[in-house]
């Protein structure tokens, strides 16, 4: 799609979700919480999932579908905090395992899948490099780059890496050899990191371990990598600090994700009346013209607003009569947020799920591909 300016970062458009939007419905979307306690909580998880699934109307939803979804939930990771399952009449199409409880639990049968929970999870999976170092090298893990985690071990020179006090005329030379070994090993780690990322810049680089080693590594990184580097205390030693390291890294990732949302909201405010539209009417008018670059959406519990869609023709509107005037013939009602997300993903736009903020009217707004927002009747 042609754009009149730079595309903001931070929104997502996963190909598998685009593919879901291009399939014929109806769809069942089930969002459930899990205990995350493995076998200990299995019984409670089964009961809770059954309660959510029971809200589906048996006159609409085939019993075989409910059984397939229940089986999919039984097979997710026992440590999961939640899951979202999407199915059509024939098969389970997506199982999204969540690290935490979903914001809300529901079961929905609709002409469109409900994708905001999945999108909200995907936007937290930012590219992160974790470097756990000591003076002999580092363990490097690459996460959130769209594939399985990649791991690399860098081992530098074995000796000498520990300073001592041998005394005599050779002490200064020995100490210098140790410093040279540290710098050489840090340089090997830097080279490995920069080779992994190539010309790209990850969202976050977490650097932990020995103070001297981390200082040398950070100093050796190129400027763009230094800018996204955050240092933590725990390193590669198997000393029981692994849970602390995980918690600290998770907080850093959450901070980086929140910063992306803030940056997008600032861009939205800066472009108000120029390359941004606010509210449901303006956003749908832009979606109808394939003008949306980034859809900003807040999906709140209890939102009963409906919009209208002709999935086959790819047409959407707030009013079904408007779709009729466009020549649509297979018009169906669906939750307004689901219709907006469907329109965004099928017209090349990306989506960012945002918290409730005063800057976004009615939980919908959009950054546009080009200036001059479309006129809105009324």
**Contact between residue 21 and residue 342 where contact means Cβ atoms under 8 Å apart:** yes
Return phi, psi of residue 228, to 5°: -105, 10
DSSP per residue over 170-181, as a string? THHHHHHHHHHH
Domain boundary assignment for the chain? 26-110, 128-260
The residues with which 212 forms a beta bridge, in sequence order, are none
CATH of domain 128-260: 3.30.420.60
The tokens for 100 are 């935490």
The residues with which 229 forms a beta bridge, in sequence order, are 205
**Contact between residue 112 and residue 342 where contact means Cβ atoms under 8 Å apart:** yes
DSSP character for 61?
S
What is the distance, to the nearest Å, from the Cα of residue 234 to the centroid of all Cα atoms in its chain?
A: 25
pLDDT per residue as tens, the chain (378 positions): 545 556 667 889 999 999 999 998 899 999 999 887 766 767 788 888 888 888 888 888 888 999 999 999 888 888 888 999 999 998 999 999 998 899 889 999 999 999 999 999 999 888 889 998 887 788 888 887 666 778 888 886 654 444 444 444 444 544 444 445 667 788 888 888 888 888 878 889 999 888 888 888 898 899 999 999 999 887 666 666 677 878 888 899 899 999 999 999 999 999 888 899 999 999 999 999 999 999 999 988 778 899 999 998 889 999 989 988 888 888 899 999 999 999 999 999 999 999 988 789 999 999 999 887 776 765
């Amino acid at each position: 799609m042609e754009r009149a300016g730079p595309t903001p970062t931070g929104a997502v458009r996963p190909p598998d979700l685009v593919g879901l939007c291009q399939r014929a419905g109806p769809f069942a979307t089930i969002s459930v919480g899990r205990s995350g306690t493995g076998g200990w909580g299995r019984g409670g998880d089964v009961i809770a999932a059954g309660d959510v699934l029971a809200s589906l109307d048996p006159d609409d939803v085939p019993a075989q579908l409910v059984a397939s979804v229940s089986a999919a939930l039984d097979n997710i990771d026992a440590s999961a905090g939640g899951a979202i399952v999407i199915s059509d009449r024939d098969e389970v199409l997506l199982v999204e395992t969540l690290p935490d409880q979903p914001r809300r639990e529901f079961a929905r049968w609709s002409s469109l899948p409900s994708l905001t929970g999945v999108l909200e999870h995907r936007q937290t999976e930012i590219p992160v490099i974790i470097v756990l170092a000591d003076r002999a090298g580092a363990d490097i893990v690459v996460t959130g780059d769209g594939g399985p985690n990649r791991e690399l071990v860098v081992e530098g020179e074995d000796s000498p890496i520990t300073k001592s006090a041998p005394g005599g005329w050779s002490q200064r030379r020995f100490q210098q050899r140790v410093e040279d070994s540290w710098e050489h090993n840090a340089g090997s780690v830097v080279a490995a990191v920069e080779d992994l990322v190539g010309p790209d810049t990850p969202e976050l680089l977490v650097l932990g371990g020995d103070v001297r080693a981390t200082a040398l590594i950070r100093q050796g990184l190129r400027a763009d990598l230094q800018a996204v580097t955050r240092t933590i205390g725990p390193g590669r030693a198997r000393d029981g600090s692994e849970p602390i390291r995980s918690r600290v890294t998770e907080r850093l990732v959450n901070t980086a994700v929140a910063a992306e949302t803030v940056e997008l909201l600032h861009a939205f405010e800066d472009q108000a009346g120029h390359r941004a539209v606010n509210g449901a009417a303006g956003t749908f008018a832009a979606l109808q013209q394939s003008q949306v670059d980034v859809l900003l959406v807040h999906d709140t519990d209890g939102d009963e607003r409906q919009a209208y869609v002709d999935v086959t023709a790819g047409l959407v509107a707030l009013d079904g009569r408007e779709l009729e005037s466009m020549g649509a013939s297979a018009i169906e009602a669906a939750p307004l947020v689901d219709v907006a997300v469907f329109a965004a993903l099928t017209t090349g736009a990306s989506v960012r799920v945002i918290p409730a903020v005063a800057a976004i009217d009615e939980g919908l707004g959009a950054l546009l591909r080009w200036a001059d927002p479309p006129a809105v009747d009324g």
